[in-house]
Each structure stands twice: as C-alpha cells, then as structure tokens.
Amino acid sequence: MRKVLLILGFLAFFSRGYAQIDSLEANRLVTTANSIGVGGVNILDTYLSPLEYKGTEVRFMNEKMHLTKFFSGHVSAQRIFQANVSYSKNPTEDNSAFSGLVNWSYALHYQFKVNDHLKFLVGPAADMNLGFIYNLNNGNNPASAKLYANLSASGMAIYKFYLGNRLFTARYQANIPLVGLMFAPHYGESYYEIFTLGHNSHLVHFTTPYTQPSFRQMVSLDIPISRIKIRASYVFDMQQSHINSIKAHTWSNIFMIGFVKDLYVLKPSVHQRLSERLKAY
C-alpha cells in the first residue's frame, strides 16, 4: 500500500510540473543575444571622394526573438539593434576617414516547421539607419550624413542538431530592402547650403532595389558550453545607393562572438504578486 501511495505521489508531482510548463505563455519566452565583432570594411562615397577607403570595423549587435499570438502562435517577432564604427584609408594612404552607423530593425516571420530539427521563416521587416562618414582631410565637405529607412523581405532557416547530448542551433538569415526613403544631398551641395541657406529641396528620395541595391545576411551557430550558450556568427552587410549622381557603398565582413540567453517575461500582474524577497529592484 505504501508503494502504491508513493508511486501516486510521484505521478502527481510530475504531472503538476508538466502542467506548469504547459501553462507558460510561449510569447513571453524571449531569446536574447549580445555579440561583438570585428572585420574588414570597404567604403565609397563620391560626395566626399571618388576613391574607395578600406579599413577595420567594430560592431555590436543585440538580438531578441519571441513568438507572438498571431496566426495561432506561428509568427515570431525579431528585433535587432546594431551599432558600428570604422576607420579606413584610401589606396595611397594619404587620407583617412571615420564612419559609424546605428541600425534598428523589426521583423515578423511566419514559421514553416518541416520537422523537429528544421524550420523556415519568411516575412516583412522594417529598419531605420542613422550614420556618418567623416573625411579627415576634406575642406568644404568633410562629412556625409546617412539617414534612411526601408521595408524589406526577410527570410531565415533554423536547423537544430545534437552532438552527443548537447543541442546546437545553426541559422542563416537574409534581408533585402524593397522600398524606402533616403536623405541624399545633391552632388557638390554643402551642408552649409542645406541647413543655413535653406537649399533643402529634393533631399528625401524614394528608394527601390534599383537605386538602393542592398543586402544583409548573417550565419550563426549557438554552441552550448556547460550552462551557457555561445553564439559565433558571420555578418555580411552590403549597403549601397546611387542617388543624385552620388554613388555610395559600405561593404562589411564581420566575425562576431557573443552570449545567448532564454528569458521568461512575467506579466505585470504576476510581478506585483511576487514576494518582495524575490525582487532585486
């Protein structure tokens, strides 16, 4: 009799545990990753110089992904924040430039699950970009501002596999801008003329893949080590435009390393009911 009661007790305990797991809301489980990397960069902006500048770029990336309630939980949301700075020189190495760019993007992907290991994600993405290029030796026009926003097509493939008893996650993602808006001065027009003299007509332009043939792609591998997950990734970022007779491009090849965490976000009502002894803030 005691054995029967003991078995029933264990079954009740485990069934309660599984019920608690099933009661978790999938849209509140957030996978977040922070990575930093370095690589090569190739920069051209004929507003400043007809020459290509080559150098080194340092980049930081924060990524968050979670499921939503759209289409019965088959749609995931992705937010990426990136910031990079670079230092480059022209071919004769008698002039150099500093550049930087901040990028924020938000994407919604419908998830097509092939099996327990493989799934494909497809959907729209929106991104905003703000940056600059500063040429150290230019006189009248030493700087070029970068300000543009896009609506893009985004696709992703995620494959999970085991090595031994450890679960690895490989991912490929690509974003291609389809339409957008971009700030672009006229060739030879200085920022003094734009902001002081008021020559500010036709500075914002509608962009398409013809005028802005750009492309962002990323390959990553999440590696479990003990109780942490390390993300190794490669980013190829090709930003290009040809507007107002000004050709510009920034090609970045970046290798990154970072950490991945899975966080469960509590509802405000649940958080209020938690004991103060459990809160650090």
Q: How does pLDDT run across 201-242, given as a tens digit for each residue? A: 788 999 999 999 999 999 999 999 988 999 999 999 999 999
Residue 34 located in a structural domain = yes
7 part of a folded domain: no
Q: Is 4 a member of any domain? A: no
Looking at the chain, the whole-number percentage of residues with pLDDT higher than 90 is 69
User: How many structural domains comprise the chain?
Assistant: 1
Lowest mean pLDDT among 130-139, 144-153, 203-212: 130-139
Q: Is residue 18 part of a domain?
A: no
Confidence of residue 77 (pLDDT cuts 50, 70, 90): very high
Q: Is residue 16 part of a domain?
A: no
Report if residue 122 sits inside a domain.
Answer: yes
Average pLDDT over residues 85-111: 96
Instruction: Look at residue 246 and tell me if it is in a domain.
Output: yes
Question: Sorting pLDDT into bands at 50, 70 and 90, what band is 57?
Answer: very high
Q: What is the CATH number of the domain that holds 101?
A: 2.40.128.100
Residues of the domain holding 37: 26-265
What's the token pair of residue 92? 């004769």
Would you say residue 112 lies in a domain?
Answer: yes
